[in-house]
Amino acid sequence: MASSLTRSTNLCLALYIVDYISDCVITFPEGWTVAQICAFVEQWKSALHVRSVSWFIEHSNINEIKANHEKNAKRYVIQLSERIKQSSEHFRNSGQFSRDRLRHEERMSLFNSRVLPSFRRMMLERYTPDEMLSKLKIIAEEFEKRHGQGGQKVMEKLFSMMPTIELFAQLMAARVMNPKRAVQHQDFWDIEHARVPAAYADAFVTEDRGLVDLLSSRSDIPRIQGCRVIRDLSDFADLLREYIRAVEALHKLRSCRLPRSFTTSMTSSSAA
Supply the DSSP symbol for 29.
-
Q: How far, in Å, are 20, 79, 166, 193 from residue 160 at the CA level?
A: 27, 27, 6, 20
What pLDDT score was predicted for residue 41?
82
Q: How far, in Å, are 78, 157, 191 from residue 196 at the CA level?
A: 25, 19, 9
Cβ(204)–Cβ(2) under 8 Å?
yes
Cβ(45)–Cβ(55) under 8 Å?
no
What pLDDT score was predicted for residue 271?
40
Cβ(22)–Cβ(36) under 8 Å?
no
What pLDDT score was predicted for residue 16?
43
Tell me how far apart the alpha carbons of residues 217 and 70 are, in angstroms, rounded to a whole number: 30
What pLDDT score was predicted for residue 23?
59
Q: Which amino acid is at 245?
A: R
State pLDDT tens for residues 219-249: 999 999 999 999 888 888 898 888 888 888 8
Query: Phi/psi of residue 203, each to 5°?
Result: -150, 145
Which residues of the chain fall below pLDDT 50?
1-2, 6-19, 258, 260-272
What pLDDT score was predicted for residue 96?
63
Cβ(104)–Cβ(155) under 8 Å?
yes
> Which residues, other chains included, contact 224 with Cβ-Cβ below 8 Å and sequence gap of 6+?
163
State pLDDT tens for residues 183-198: 887 887 788 788 888 9
What pLDDT score was predicted for residue 71?
82
What pLDDT score was predicted for residue 170?
93
Q: Which amino acid is at 126?
A: R
Tell me how far apart the alpha carbons of residues 71 and 69 are, in angstroms, rounded to a whole number: 5
